[in-house]
Amino acid sequence: MSGRAASILASRRDELNARFARKGRAIDPSAMQRYLARTAIPIVDAWTTNGADALLVALFDLGLLGLPSGLVGATEPTPFEAALVRGAPTLGAHLDDLPARTLRVLGNGFAKLARELGEAAALRWLDGIVAIAPGCDGHEALLEVGIVGAWQAGLAEARDVALDHLAKLAPATRRQLFAEGEPSREPARRFCRPGALAPSLGPLHVVAALGGFVGFGGPFTAPPRARAVGDRLFATDGVATVELHADVHGARWTPAAWAHADAHAMGDDASITTSSDGRVAVGPLELVDETLRGANGAAAAAGMVAVTLVDSHKVFVLGRTEAP
Amino acid sequence: MKQRRAQISQAPTNPRAAAAPSRFDVADLYRGPLGDDAPAPDALPLDEKLRQAYFWIVNHAIISPFYDLEYVDAPPTTFSLGAQKTRLTLPTAQSYSSYVLLPLLNLAVRRRCLLIGGPGRGKTVIATLLGLLAGYSPKEMKQGIQHGQPQMTIADLLGNPLPSTLVSAKSMEEIQIAWRRWLGMRVKIIDEYNRIPTRTQSALLTVMADDYAELYDQVFECPPAAWFLTANDDAGGGTYQVIEALRDRIDVVVNALHFNTRFLGELLDRVESGRKPEDDVPPEIVFTQAELDRMEREIRAVAFPDALLERLGFFAASFEYLEQAARTLEYQTKDTVKVAAVPFESLGVRGAAEDLGAQTFNGLSVRALTTCLVFAKALAWFRGNREVAFEDLRQILPFVLHDKLVQQKDAAFFDVAENAPFRSDLVGWIRVLFDLACKEFDRLGRGASDPVRDALDVLAQGLEGVDRASVDERLAWLDGQIREIERGGKLYGYLFDDVLALKYMHQRYSNYRAWLEGGVTSA
């Protein structure tokens, strides 16, 4: 072994060995060696600034913590590692300034999104953040880009926070994130494409089906009912209560035990009419959809309408996109 | 264990908080297998910084793989284990180890925490770590710890007069005192306080209770401080009996739990690395003095909902009332018996199994209730909330009331086989007491309807402009309420407080009516 990484490894040998002895008891030493050889060393060897030393230590720690969790592969490189090797040069200044912290946020963010949205979405998120990183002025901006990127990747519950962070970013960075134009904060336009110019909205339609039976990974043991508490939308079966999040980037539910008492105690929203033939009327808007056959109640909040069916554990989310 | 993380959430049994939780916590995205990350320390909210400190301690400093402060945000999985069918709950939301969290909250609210446990359980280590988190160096902490021992004198504890001034002084004012440095510290640690002789304990009491020390008429004003005391013996025994006033000043009691041998490997790591947790406190989680002050202010600003206060009041009312104590209603309290030095046992009060009041020798003092409020706020704040939730109060009470509610072990409640272990499990017992009180509170519908509370609220609006007819109407209503309680027969703790409140209102209205009629009595 030769090159920059080799000399750093040699000079810090005792320290790194002690680190491995302390934190790497559960790790197969050969797995660690393979990780260093295929991921850490190529990145450091290609590093041209003075930060290579700290970067190697940070990558070493990434191996120690990433191997047990599967973020780093024991035999083969994981998609995260591959993306990291690919993107390290672009991350340049961030890895130079705060190598450990930058690797931690990227790794944790990737792990979180892979768990919540799947590996492909996590990979898109990581590639996106790496592409925008050179334009981010400092670590905080990188974190903000990560939040917005997570929302774009489908983490629908991040919408409000992401919009807040988006507003703090430099105009050029915002343009990189939303090339077609910025998303609207207006709840009613939450299902519109960012930058959509048409001022009017199209008809109501089913945009997502959320929830599901507990045996199939959903939260409900019985068909739920939709409820609006404040400006937020929930579904409850009397045992579990979840919050519904949906917009143009995705739809998800999250546990919302804090709203259980209110949601459970509420009745149906009298301003929305549903009928068993799949008809839903919200004020002047009406939708008839075969999917909604058996509709027994609905609630509306923040530009979303949630409809439940008498014999389904799913909740159907209705919304309006921009007019064609 | 090191990577165990969960979301902060509210329990399903919480009454609805006014402020709903944020839709999305930014920190969640960047928490994961690689450890926590956060923006620059100076940008961190203090509650986040304290949470980081907590996780650093449990992950790297104190091996405490216990989650006895349980929060759930979804129906949890439960198990019944062992011959006693002990209930094990797997918390679904971020839960905490009391052994680490309570001392940390004590640092934040600057109260007095007693750590109890056998030798070698890390009591002094955690207290020292909290001193380091408050910005002291390891050397300062070593110098600052007061080690209780049977020969400890007041001078050992507080300081000595300078010999030169002692000789030359013509009056007491001229004597200069070399005060011990620990008196000026913001974190005060008294190790094995139950080994301190009684006379020195009295000097300690003055410092603890009143924040000053006195020697030769000279006074040293101590800054507000978080106190950590350690003891090996729960009964407060040790070499010397701890004086009651000193015990009473302790706000929160934390038990050091046993060492789980499944974590022996981590212990081996420590041995092999040759480093102590005190050597590795990250600077990011060290609080400045200004931050400690701000933290305490932020905690005091946390809202305590009226509905929860009512519930706490109902619970607290269960313990003071004792019908056998006197013939005058106002004196029918356990305090009357205690002050008169009548053995409680001689009254033969064992109560029914479901009787909460019969399970204690005392009621709750104002100090105890104040501590409940402060620590419930601290726990809510630590969890990122700005309003105390039901579960915050439920979780904190056992640790605050641990030394405050003196258990009557002969009460009929403990004769029930499943309740017998509560004679030694004070934390579990107090939690059950609170649960039972809440059950009764709900059964009586006190949360939905509380006429006495409503009447107090009406009175609080003032009497100005209230005419004679309205006063008569209100007095008649008060009579009717007391009559209704009379008809109910047995008087319970909460009714005792209700009757006294009704009597108070009756007096206020009577005086006001007399004034309206031209009398001289003030309303």
ipTM of predicted assembly, 2 dp:
0.76
For residues A37 and A163, state if they share a domain: yes
Taking the CA of residue A219 and the nearest CA in chain B, the distance in Å comes to 9
User: What tens digit of pLDDT does each residue of B451-487 get?
Assistant: 999 999 899 888 878 899 999 999 999 999 999 999 9
> Does the residue A29 lie in any domain?
yes
Both tokens of B141, joined, read 């902490």
Nearest by CB to B11, from A111, A229, A257: name it.
A257
User: What six digits make up the tokens of B148?
Assistant: 């209780």
SS3 content of chain A, % helix, strand, coil (to 5): 50, 20, 30
A49 and A134 assigned to the same domain: yes
Q: What does the pLDDT read at residue B290?
A: 80
pLDDT interval class at B25 (50, 70, 90): low
* The pair of three-digit structure tokens given for residue B311, joined into one six-digit string: 């519930």
Quick check: A299 pLDDT over 80? yes
Say if the Cβ atoms of B20 and A69 lie within 8 Å.
Answer: no
If asked whether residues A165 and A215 sit together in one domain, one would say no
Q: Is residue A238 part of a domain?
A: yes
Comparing B231-245, B263-277, B499-513, the range with the smallest average pLDDT is: B231-245
CB pair distance less than 8 Å for A18 and B273: yes
Cβ atoms of A250 and A154 closer than 8 Å: yes
Residues A241-251 have pLDDT tens digits of 999 999 999 99
Q: Which of B258-262, B368-372, B488-492 has the largest mean confidence?
A: B368-372
Out of A113, A161, A243, closest to residue B26 by CB: A161
Six-digit token pair at B347? 């009254």
pLDDT recorded at residue B27 = 66
CB within 8 Å: A101 and B37: yes
User: What pLDDT is recorded for position B5?
Assistant: 27
* CB-closest option in B17, B29, B43 to A109: B29
**A107 and A155, same domain (yes or no):** yes
Contacts with B151 (C-beta within 8 Å, 6 or more apart), sequence order? B197
Confidence of residue B36 (pLDDT cuts 50, 70, 90): low
**Closest by Cβ to B37, choosing from A105, A155, A261:** A105
Residue B16 clears pLDDT 90, i.e. is over it: no
- In the three-class reduction of DSSP (H, G, I as helix; E, B as strand; rest coil), residue A254 is classed as strand
Kindly state whether residues A167 and A274 are assigned to the same domain.
Answer: no
In a domain, A200, yes or no: no
**Interatomic CA distance for residues A190 and A187, integer angstroms:** 5
> What's the confidence (pLDDT) of residue A4?
83
Confidence of residue B115 (pLDDT cuts 50, 70, 90): very high
CB neighbourhood size of B288 (10 A): 11
Per CB-CB distance under 8 Å, the chain A contacts of B39 are 139-140, 143
| Residue-level pLDDT at B275 | 74
Strands B252-255 and B112-116: parallel
Instruction: Specify the pLDDT at position B42.
Output: 42
Does residue A156 share a domain with residue A293?
no
Asked if B74's CB is within 8 angstroms of A105's CB, the reply is no
Q: Is residue B380's pLDDT more than 90?
A: yes
Contact by Cβ (8 Å): A219, A255: yes
How many domains is chain A built from? 2
Stretch among A257-271, B185-199, B508-522 having the lowest mean pLDDT: B508-522
Question: Is A182 among the domain residues?
Answer: no
Q: Which of A109, A113, A258 sits opposite B9 (nearest CB)?
A: A258
What pLDDT digit, counting tens, does each position of A25-48 carry? 778 999 999 999 999 999 999 888
Question: What residue in B sits closest to A111 (Cα-Cα)?
Answer: B32
Q: Which residues are paired to A273 by β-bridges?
A: A281
CA distance B298 to B196: 35
Domain assignment present for A52: yes
Q: Whose structure tokens read 């009579």?
A: B479
- Which residues on neighbouring strands pair with residue A315, listed in sequence order? A210, A308
Mean pLDDT of B15-29: 54
Contact B20 A258 (CB under 8 A): yes
Length of chain A: 324
- Backbone φ and ψ for B145, nearest 5 degrees, come out as -70, 130
Q: What is the pLDDT of residues B127-166, one digit of tens each?
A: 999 999 998 888 889 999 999 998 999 999 999 888 888 7
Whole-number pLDDT of residue B236: 47
Cα separation of A299 and A315, whole Å?
11
Cα B69 off chain centre by: 14
The arithmetic mean of pLDDT across residues A187-196, rounded, is 89
B97 to chain A, closest Cα gap in Å = 22
The answer to whether the Cβ–Cβ distance between B15 and A65 falls below 8 Å is: no
Count of beta carbons in the 10 Å neighbourhood of residue A125 = 27
Please, where are the H alpha helices in B180-238? 198-210
Same domain, residue pair A241 and A294: yes
> Same structural domain for residues A157 and A21?
yes
Mean pLDDT score, B188-201: 92
Question: How big is the A-B interface in CB pairs under 8 Å?
Answer: 124
Task: Spell out which residues of chain A touch residue B75, defining contact as CB-CB under 8 Å.
Answer: 239-240
Q: Does A147 sit within 8 Å of B29, measured CB to CB?
A: yes
Give me the residue from A111, A143, A160 closest to B33, CB to CB: A111
Residue B74 and residue A143: Cβ atoms within 8 Å? Answer: no
Contacts of B72 in chain A (CB under 8 A): 257
Which of A153-162, B56-65, B121-130, B188-197 has the weakest average pLDDT? B56-65
Contact flag B273-A146 (C-beta cutoff 8 Å): no
Q: Is residue A194 part of a domain?
A: no
Q: Do B73 and A108 touch (CB under 8 A)?
A: no
B15 contacts on A by Cβ (under 8 Å)? 261
Average the pLDDT over A311-324 and give the result.
91
Nearest partner of B252 among B141, B147, B121, B98, judged by Cα: B98
Taking the C-alpha atoms of residue B38 and residue B26, their distance in angstroms, rounded to an integer, is 9
In percent, how much of chain A has pLDDT > 70? Answer: 99
Tell me which chain A residues have a C-beta less than 8 angstroms from the C-beta of B273.
Answer: 18, 21-22
Provide the CB-side half-sphere exposure for A121 (13 A, CA).
20
Q: Does B274 touch chain A (CB under 8 A)?
A: no
A241 part of a folded domain: yes
The beta-carbon neighbor of A104 closest among B24, B35, B73 is B35
CB atoms within 10 A of CB B302: 21
**Do both A209 and A161 map to the same domain?**
no
Report d(CA A37, CA A1) in Å as an integer: 9
Which of A71, A112, A258 is nearest residue B10 as measured by Cβ atoms?
Answer: A258
| Burial (CB count within 10 angstroms: exposed 0-12, middle 13-18, buried 19+), residue B350 | middle
Which residues on chain B are in Cβ contact (under 8 Å) with A240?
A: 74-75
Torsion of the alpha carbons at B345, B347, B348 and B354, rounded to the nearest 10: -100
B519 touches chain A (CB under 8 A): no
Cα radius of gyration (chain A): 24
CA A103 to the chain's CA centroid: 17
pLDDT tens readout for residues B286-328: 998 888 888 998 898 899 999 999 999 999 999 999 988 889 9
Which residues on chain B are in Cβ contact (under 8 Å) with A113? 29
CB contact under 8 A, B16 and A261: yes
Percent of chain B residues past pLDDT 70, beyond the cut:
90
List, as ranges, residues 43-62 from B with C-beta within 8 Å of A: 43
Q: Residue B262, Cβ neighbours under 10 Å: how many? A: 9
Task: Say yes or no for a CB contact (<8 Å) between B32 and A108.
Answer: yes
Cβ contacts of B20 on chain A, cutoff 8 Å:
229-230, 232, 258-259
Residue A190 lies in a domain: no
- Rounded Cα–Cα distance for residues A190 and A156 (Å): 11
Residues 233-252 on B with a CB inside 8 Å of A are none
Where is B289: in which H helix or E strand? helix B289-300
pLDDT at B344 over 60: yes
Q: Is B17 in CB contact (< 8 Å) with chain A?
A: yes
**Does the distance separating the beta carbons of A140 and B26 come in below 8 Å?**
no
What is the reported pLDDT for B39? 42
Question: CB–CB of A111 and B15 under 8 A?
Answer: no
Chosen for mutation from B34, B268, B388 (greatest number of chain A CBs closer than 10 Å) is: B34
- Using a CB-CB cut-off of 8 Å, the residues of chain B touching A112 are 28-32
How far is it, in rounded angstroms, from Cα B102 to Cα B253? Answer: 8
Confidence at residue B305, expressed as pLDDT on a 0 to 100 scale? 92
Contact B22 A262 (CB under 8 A): no
Residues A140 and A215 in one domain: no
Q: What pLDDT does residue B21 have?
A: 53
Distances (CA, A) of A172 to A128, A140, A145, B41: 15, 16, 12, 27
Q: State the Cα angle at B374 between B339 and B56, rounded to 5°.
A: 130
Contact residues on chain B for A155, CB-CB shorter than 8 A: 24, 29
C-alpha to C-alpha distance for A52 and A96, rounded to whole angstroms:
8
Nearest-angstrom CA–CA distance, A260 and A227:
10
B147 within 8 A of B191, measured Cβ to Cβ? yes
Under the banding of pLDDT at 50, 70 and 90, the label for residue A197 is confident
Average pLDDT score, chain B: 84
Return the closest-CA partner of residue A93 out of A102, A85, A105.
A102
Q: 3-state SS string over B440-463?
A: HHHHCCCCCCCHHHHHHHHHHCCC
Confidence of residue B28 (pLDDT cuts 50, 70, 90): confident
The CA distance from B236 to B224, in Å, is 25
Would you call B9 and A255 a contact, using CB atoms and an 8 Å cutoff? Answer: yes
Range of the domain at A138: 4-177
The answer to whether the beta carbons of residues A262 and A245 sit under 8 Å apart is: no
Query: From the candidates A14, A16, A105, which should be mutated to test the interface with B, based on the most B CB atoms within 10 A?
Result: A105
| Positive or negative torsion for Cα B93, B98, B102, B103 | negative
Question: Domain check: are A151 and A8 in the same one?
Answer: yes
Q: Is A108 within 8 Å of B16 when comparing Cβ atoms? A: no
Residue B159, classed as helix, strand or coil, is strand
Strand A295-301 vs strand A250-255: parallel, antiparallel, or unpaired?
unpaired
Asked if residues B195 and B240 have their Cβ atoms less than 8 Å apart, the reply is: yes
**pLDDT averaged over every residue in chain A:** 90
Q: How much is the pLDDT for A85? A: 94
Do A210 and A158 lie in one domain? The reply is no
Q: Tens of pLDDT along A68-113? A: 889 999 999 999 999 999 999 999 889 988 898 899 999 999 999 9
- C-alpha–C-alpha distance, residues B333 and A37, integer Å: 76
Answer for the pair B81, B88: CB distance below 8 angstroms, yes or no.
Answer: yes
> Within 13 Å, how many C-alpha atoms sit on residue B222's CB side?
27
CA-wise closest residue to A26 among A75, A66, A55: A66
* Mean pLDDT of the region B223-240: 78
Structure token digits, residue A202? 């199209």
Q: What is the largest CA-CA distance in chain A?
A: 75
Q: A222: closest CA among A232, A231, A230, A212?
A: A212
